[in-house]
Each structure stands twice: as C-alpha cells, then as structure tokens.
Amino acid sequence: MVLWLIGQEGKRHRLVDRSFTPCFYVHGLETRLASLAQALLARSAVKCTWTEKTNIWDGRELRVLEIAVRDPTQFAALARFVHRCDSSLRLYNSDLMLAPMYCWQKGVFPLAKVEVEDQGPGTGG
C-alpha cells in the first residue's frame, strides 16, 4: 500500500507498506472450499486458512475460508475468480475498498497526525 505523509515542514513523503495483506472470506460447503483453496494456491500468491466469523445478520458463527492476498493489486481479481470458480459460494468483504480496509487493519484513519520512524531503505513495512 502506498501512503503519502506530509511532514511538519510541508514536504510530502511517500511510504510503501508491504505488510498489508487484505483478506476476504468465503462460506459454503467445506469440500467446495477445499477445492477452491487448492485452485487459489496453485494460481496465485495467497494464504488460505480456516477461521470462524460471526454472521452480522443472525449472529451465527460461520466456518469460513479466509483468503489473504499478498499483492493488494490482485484483491479484486481474486474475488472475481472465486465467484466465477463457484457461484454457489458466499463471499464476505470482497467488495470493500482497499484504502478503508488498510485503515481498519492498521488502526489508523485518514488525515490523522502520526509519528513515523524512518528505518532506512530496504527495511520493509
């Protein structure tokens, strides 16, 4: 994710945070989810894990497949791939915009005052 920061002197600084891995969730028959996980792992740089999430509509716990996308630019394409792969599966968080998702995941909000420590080139995010 690319962040733009404005220093106290008014100079703009570009920060690349490579630690951002947006996730979406898929619910359905576990056999279909297992097949999907195999297809995704063979096709792209994702991490698939089983997790429990609460359905916001009825409060039930759902066993879902969490798909963490290592390259955020591929997030929407992978969600479309999952939908095309098996339209019987239900996707969650696949239609969220990446900028707000980044803020939620990192616990920041736009236009906030922040302190940033420069660790030098090549130190990652």
Q: What domains, with CATH codes, occur in the chain?
A: 19-106 (3.30.70)
73 has which bridge partners?
A: none
Contact between 98 and 72 (Cβ < 8 Å): yes
**86 pLDDT exceeds 50?**
yes
* pLDDT for 117 beyond 90: no
CA dihedral 116, 104, 40, 30 (to 10 degrees): 140
State the amino acid at position 18 in one-letter form: R
81 falls in which pLDDT band (50, 70, 90)?
A: very high
Asked if pLDDT for residue 64 goes beyond 50, the answer is yes
Residue bearing the bigger pLDDT, 118 or 105: 105
Whether 48 contacts 41, CB under 8 Å = yes
Whole-number pLDDT of residue 51 = 97
**What is the chain's mean pLDDT, rounded?**
90
Element (H, E) at 100: helix 98-106
What are the pLDDT digits (tens) for 5-51?
888 888 998 988 899 999 999 999 999 999 999 999 887 789 999 99
Looking at residue 113, its pLDDT comes to: 81
The amino acid sitting at 22 is P
pLDDT at 122 over 70: no
